[in-house]
Amino acid sequence: MDTDESSALPVESFAITHAPEAVDDLRRRLRATRWPDRSPAPAWQQGTDLDYLVDLVGYWADGFDWAEQQRWLNGFPHYHARVEGTTIHFVHVRAENGNGIPLVLSHGWPSCFVEYLPIIPLLTDPAAHGLDGPAFDVVVPSLPGYAYSDRPEQPAFTARDTARLWHRLMLRLGYPRYGAHGTDFGSAVTTFLALDQHASVLGIHLSNLDLFPHTGAGTPPLSRAEQAYLAQYQRWADEDRGYGVIQSTRPQTVGYGLTDSPAGLAAWVLEKWRAWSDCGGDLESRFSRDFLLTIVSLYWFTGTITSSMRDYVDNRHVSDLLGPTDRVRVPTAMAVFAHQFLDDGEPPREWAERLYDVHRWTTMPSGGHFAAAEEPGLLARDLGAFFAGL
């Protein structure tokens, strides 16, 4: 049982609402945006394209209907729970047939719980959507410091700490045994759930690998495929991971501008949605404007972009928590969405097998880093097939 001293406190439902004055203030700021000069490089090469952002900001100010999106969000049941003194927000939808496999879904940055909303109906009522496989009771928490979840005020709150909160939350909801899926930081959270709570975790399903396995003395030498993958990763890090360097060292500094300027916030967040998704450079061929702006608006209204970026500081050395004897021994599935980063290929299976007991490895024909929003059908089928086998 959950021995957390806050376990007696209720899980409380709530509705997402932001005052009309907050919406009016957002529109005023958008209309008053001060624009930089145009980059001399080709579009998007030095960052978010000016023409695209000017057009998007104009729509955000005068075309985007927050009230309509708020109604869509509130079509899902939202809850707050106090866990270890921290308020955690989550969406909780039970299986339509009343007999679902408990499944906790963990997002990453620069995303939020909204990424998983398109897949929830497919998981809770697969038959209604033409899918074979089991139904799930779905729990989608907001990572600490994102949207409506608080972030503990301590110098380092890692993915391992978040995993502990998720375990307590699942026990609080009456799920002593459950499955887990994650991407980005959520992949690390899911991994630590399996490492630290293996007696409770049925299996884990990942759509990317966020942790580096231990490769020190006593481990097998890297294969050619692993060497090529790591070299490719390093090239990507050298050319495209500048955002991660600043967020891993000085998130507070960049946070002032992103918290004060909605146009700057959109530029910072949506550049990554474009670069990391399977959109071929055309962001809105994969996601609607309303979907993207709903995510950015949530960061804006909740003022959580800075607290979300602290994940980079706090998890800068999280892979160092893994020692030579650490291994995920619960069944693991990997859904490989190869179009996650520009010029970034898929990891070889042997790289994953250094840390995980891989039972299922699926290379997807399309999709990228935000798989639940890009290819909800593919991801739901793979989740169903994996957990049905368990």
> Does 240 participate in catalysis according to the annotation?
no
Q: How far apart are CA 83 and CA 258, in angstroms?
A: 29
- Residue reference for tokens 């979840």: 149
Instruction: Give residue 280's region: left, alpha or beta (phi > 0; psi -120 to 50).
Output: left
CB 147 within 8 A of CB 140: no
Residue 363, beta-bridge partner list: 336
Candidates 146, 311, 369, 382; catalytic one? 369
Question: β-strands 12-14, 78-83: how paired?
Answer: antiparallel
- What are the φ and ψ backbone dihedral angles of 56, each rounded to 5 degrees? -65, -45
For residues 74 and 15, is the Cβ–Cβ distance under 8 A? yes
> DSSP of 130-198, one letter per residue?
T--S--EEEEEEPPTTSTT-----SS---HHHHHHHHHHHHHHTT-SSEEEEE-THHHHHHHHHHHH-T
Interacting residues of 1 by C-beta distance below 8 A, sequence separation 6+: 171
For the question of residue 129 being annotated catalytic, the response is no
- Of the residues 137, 150, 161, 184, only one is catalytic, namely 184
**Helix, coil or strand: residue 70:** helix
Q: Is 382 a catalytic residue?
A: no
Q: Which of 148, 229, 243, 312 is catalytic?
A: 312
Catalytic residues: 184, 312, 369
